Chain A
Amino acid sequence: MLHYAFMRAAFMAALLISIVCGPVGWFLVLRRQSFASHALAHVGFAGATAALVVDQPALLGFGVGSVLSGVAMGAISYRVIGHDVIIGLVLSLAMGIGVLCLHFLTRSAHAAMSLLFGNILGVDTNTLWALFFLSAGCLVVLACIARPLLLATLQPEVAEAKGVSLRLINCIFLVLVAVATVECTQATGILLVFTLMVAPAAAIIRQGFSPIVGMVATTALAVGESWGGLVLSWYTSWPVVFWIAALGAVGFGISHGIVLLSLKRK
């Protein structure tokens, strides 16, 4: 299957996406903000459809929409209103706008489909380069803030005492989530961002690894699941996204089983 250029591109794209989704997803689950990636994907959808209406690339609209809303979400004092309320409101409004834009955009149903469900087999070279730079940038920033971000997650008061601005670090992190979401939708579409962002991390975090080991393991699992999805899709000709989602669920199930077994043995 690697004879085909589009398959090689798909494997490359899956790798680039997974190495970001791994560590970002790990923090997302640890911080109990996994819903945020869902919301940012929906706002990105509104941005992407709006971009299509004015004849701009969907990816650009997607990026602008979700990064801006990431900043906004982080800047709004999360003590005032609960996370989930804000996110829920933003999410439904964005989806509504997206539907409105689609209404004006009758000619390009295909573009809408690939936004919703991803199109990893149609990744071109330009998109690969875009993914490469987004992933590199995202990982560099995350490597810089990982330490204070971890403390801010585990012990916010102690982090404040050590000079970490909780609001700033939350804001930066949500921008990273937005970028990772933009990348992830290339593979899974907005409806299934959870499968690569959250499922591997949720499986790994149950194992109680130390932070670095946990992030590396999450990344490895994400790469394994997305590549596994491509391979299975090649042999069954079922959609890639289905297989990634299925493998995500299987991974979580196995992790849960391991936890149960180790409890029993004690």
Chain B
Amino acid sequence: MSSTPHSVAVPILEVQDLTLLRGKQKVLDSVSFSIQAGSFVAVLGGNGAGKTSLFRVILGLESLKTGQVRVLGQEVKPGKASIGYMPQMRELVAGQFKGWNMVAAAFRGGVCGLPWYNQMCCAQVNAALAAVDALDLAHRPIATLSGGQQQRLMLAQAFLDDPRLLLLDEPLASLDHARRRDTVQRIYTYARTKEMTVLLSTHDMIPLQGFIDYILYLVDGRALLGRVEEVMTAQALTALYGTPVEVVQAGGHLFVVTKEGGDTLHSCACEG
């Protein structure tokens, strides 16, 4: 979990006492955690818990009320840190564009110049597309692709420019169940071979079974980071929610149930 003062490895991401306001609302409330390089972290939380906001903060795109965010020891500035970002899905413009061109637009997309794609760019784009099994989608116009297919292209886009840290905002949202598992496997393999750290936000933990090292659990802007068995306990989550929470195990899956509403918030597959 969080690094001890004597540990050798530098954490790739350190967040200290982070508070983000939107209007009067505390979207993130005194959040602190740190993540070691090479980890695969699931960011869990209901709608409006602050997952997207947290990612934008890590990218340096929000002005903070308090706190600090460091990536590889450096304070974050937009475009400076080596971060691959896949935003939450929305409708894509330029439907006539081929998927390949849409993906390639992100290759060094912040650099001045013409959108000219040289050999190195083509090789990187094709490698990223192959990694998410989207090479066959790339020659089709974007408008003819389904939501899940577009999402795979956006995932490939996040792999470009050799990032050290991947921030994937609900990359599984419009995929079917078989695809979810397959996509997580592909993200995992790609991140391992390229030694990337992954933060992946999701509502559904089941496809992540066996892949994740840590859970970052967000509730109303408060955060808890830990191993699966540390976070997914009634005690830990009751403290985080501030109301009694039960963690129910059924059919090899964990379900988080708040006593008041009684609704299932998350399910999480686990071996023990």
Verify if A207 is at the interface (C-beta below 8 Å from B).
yes
Q: Find out whether the CB atom of A153 lies under 8 angstroms from the CB atom of B109.
A: no
**Contact A147/B92 with A154-B105, A158-B87 known, Cβ cut-off 8 Å:** no
Q: Which of A141-159 contact B (CB under 8 A)?
A: 143-148, 150-151, 153-155, 157-159
B105 — which chain A residues lie within 8 A by C-beta? Answer: 150-151, 154-155, 211
- For the A-B complex, the count of residue pairs with Cβ-Cβ distances under 8 Å equals 98
Majority SS of interface residues in chain A? helix
Query: In the complex, which range does the number of interface residues on chain A fall in?
Result: 20 to 34
Give Cα distance in the complex from A158 to B92, angstroms: 12
Query: In the complex, which range does the number of interface residues on chain B fall in?
Result: 35 or more
Q: Which of A28-46 contact B (CB under 8 A)?
A: 30-32
Q: Find out whether the CB atom of B110 lies under 8 angstroms from the CB atom of A159.
A: yes
Verify if B193 is at the interface (C-beta below 8 Å from A).
no
Q: Contact check: which of A157, A205, A212 meets B85 at CB < 8 Å?
A: A157
Give Cα distance in the complex from A166 to B45, angstroms: 29
Give Cα distance in the complex from A210 to B100, angstroms: 9
- Would you give the 0/1 interface string for B114-151, flagging 1 where the beta carbon is closer than 8 Å to chain A? 11110000000000000000000000010000000000
Give Cα distance in the complex from A151 to B85, angstroms: 13
| Nearest neighbor of A146 in chain B, beta-carbon distance | B114
**Contact A211/B115 with A160-B61, A162-B79, A206-B96 known, Cβ cut-off 8 Å:** yes
Verify if A53 is at the interface (C-beta below 8 Å from B).
no
| Nearest neighbor of A208 in chain B, beta-carbon distance | B96
Verify if B205 is at the interface (C-beta below 8 Å from A).
no
Verify if B5 is at the interface (C-beta below 8 Å from A).
no
Verify if B267 is at the interface (C-beta below 8 Å from A).
no
Verify if A163 is at the interface (C-beta below 8 Å from B).
yes
Q: Contact check: which of A145, A147, A160 meets B78 at CB < 8 Å?
A: A160
| Nearest neighbor of B158 in chain A, beta-carbon distance | A158
Q: Find out whether the CB atom of B110 lies under 8 angstroms from the CB atom of A164.
A: yes
Q: Which of A117-164 contact B (CB under 8 A)?
A: 143-148, 150-151, 153-155, 157-164
Q: Which of B133-174 contact A (CB under 8 A)?
A: 141, 154, 157-158, 161
- Would you give the 0/1 interface string for A205-232, flagging 1 where the beta carbon is closer than 8 Å to chain B? 1111011100000000000000000000
A211 — which chain B residues lie within 8 A by C-beta? Answer: 101, 105, 115
Q: Find out whether the CB atom of A163 lies under 8 angstroms from the CB atom of B106.
A: no
Verify if B8 is at the interface (C-beta below 8 Å from A).
no
B177 — which chain A residues lie within 8 A by C-beta? Answer: none
Give Cα distance in the complex from A159 to B112, angstroms: 12
Give Cα distance in the complex from A237 to B271, angstroms: 84
Q: Find out whether the CB atom of A154 lies under 8 angstroms from the CB atom of B92.
A: yes
Verify if B113 is at the interface (C-beta below 8 Å from A).
yes
Q: Find out whether the CB atom of A212 lies under 8 angstroms from the CB atom of B114.
A: yes
Q: Find out whether the CB atom of B93 lies under 8 angstroms from the CB atom of A147.
A: no
Q: Contact check: which of A145, A146, A151 meets B106 at CB < 8 Å?
A: A151
Q: Find out whether the CB atom of A161 lies under 8 angstroms from the CB atom of B59.
A: yes
**Contact A148/B98 with A155-B105, A160-B61, A163-B80 known, Cβ cut-off 8 Å:** no
A147 — which chain B residues lie within 8 A by C-beta? Answer: 108-109, 111-115
A164 — which chain B residues lie within 8 A by C-beta? Answer: 79, 109-110
| Nearest neighbor of B143 in chain A, beta-carbon distance | A208
Give Cα distance in the complex from A148 to B97, angstroms: 17
**Contact A150/B113 with A161-B85, A163-B78, A210-B101 known, Cβ cut-off 8 Å:** no
A206 — which chain B residues lie within 8 A by C-beta? Answer: 96
Verify if B102 is at the interface (C-beta below 8 Å from A).
yes
Q: Find out whether the CB atom of B93 lies under 8 angstroms from the CB atom of A151.
A: no
Q: Find out whether the CB atom of B59 lies under 8 angstroms from the CB atom of A160.
A: yes
Q: Contact check: which of A30, A143, A162, A207 meets B113 at CB < 8 Å?
A: A143
| Nearest neighbor of A29 in chain B, beta-carbon distance | B94
Verify if B71 is at the interface (C-beta below 8 Å from A).
no
Give Cα distance in the complex from A119 to B92, angstroms: 40
> Within the complex, what minimum Cβ distance (angstroms) separates A160 from chain B?
6
B112 — which chain A residues lie within 8 A by C-beta? Answer: 144-145, 147-148
Chain A positions near chain B (C-beta within 8 angstroms): 30-32, 143-148, 150-151, 153-155, 157-164, 205-208, 210-212
A–B Cβ pairs within 8 angstroms, 27 of them:
A146-B114, A146-B115, A147-B114, A148-B109, A148-B110, A150-B105, A150-B109, A151-B105, A151-B110, A155-B87, A155-B92, A155-B105, A155-B157, A158-B85, A158-B106, A158-B157, A159-B109, A161-B59, A162-B78, A162-B110, A164-B109, A206-B96, A208-B96, A210-B98, A211-B105, A212-B114, A212-B116
Chain B positions near chain A (C-beta within 8 angstroms): 59, 61, 77-80, 83, 85-87, 92-94, 96-98, 101-102, 105-106, 108-117, 141, 154, 157-158, 161
